[in-house]
Amino acid sequence: MFPQLTEFLDKNQIPAEIVINTIGSHLASLGDYFNDYFTDVDTDAWDWVHDPFVAHTSARGLGGKAEEELLDLACDGTLRIRFGQGRHVDYTDIAAVAMPVLLPFPTTYLCESSFSALTSMNARMEVENDLRVCLSSTSPKMEKLCLCRERRAHISH
């Protein structure tokens, strides 16, 4: 399954059991860390995100249309077969509720862009406002900004 790892272990004469035990203990400590970090998360309320084809009575946080979509999804046997093949735009309301549950952490791109923005502004002492602008997903209203610039008073020389 991992040809490069196998080659490395064979080349350096390292028993696979040592690596398996090390990885296992590391994963166990990560599990403990996540359990300590996310103690207040009620996973039962989000079971429908894990398996949307079972009609869940514990689906909290769903509005009227999203709840209807979840019931439609749970009752659609043909969709269950095709579900793993791609994204389905028919269920946008439950997707909008599920995405924040599935993506609680910032993406790698967001982290990298924040470090890049911070590096490019390293001479400044207060970078909070600049970082907020660099990391914002809101697009600027260029027309409004251009109008403000045109209306600005010109200083005579």
Each of the 157 residues of the chain gets a pLDDT tens digit; together they read 789 989 999 999 999 899 999 999 999 999 888 887 777 767 777 777 777 777 566 666 677 888 888 888 778 777 777 766 665 667 778 777 877 777 765 566 676 776 776 666 555 556 666 667 767 777 767 777 677 666 655 565 5
* Whole-structure pTM value: 0.42
155 phi and psi angles, rounded to 5 deg? -85, 130
Residue 104 CA: distances (Å) to CA of 82, 95, 98, 108: 27, 14, 11, 12
- Listed by start position, the domains of the chain span 3-37, 43-102, 108-151
Q: Which residues contact 79 (CB under 8 A, 6 or more apart)?
A: 73, 88
Structure tokens at 9: 């272990």
Task: Let me know if 107 is exposed, middle or buried by CB neighbors in 10 A (0-12, 13-18, 19+).
Answer: exposed
Model pLDDT, residue 57: 62
Sign of the C-alpha dihedral computed for residues 150, 151, 155 and 157 taken in this order: positive
Cα–Cα distance between 59 and 45 in angstroms, integer? 5
Predicted confidence at residue 127, as pLDDT, reads 65
Q: Which tokens belong to 89?
A: 């735009």
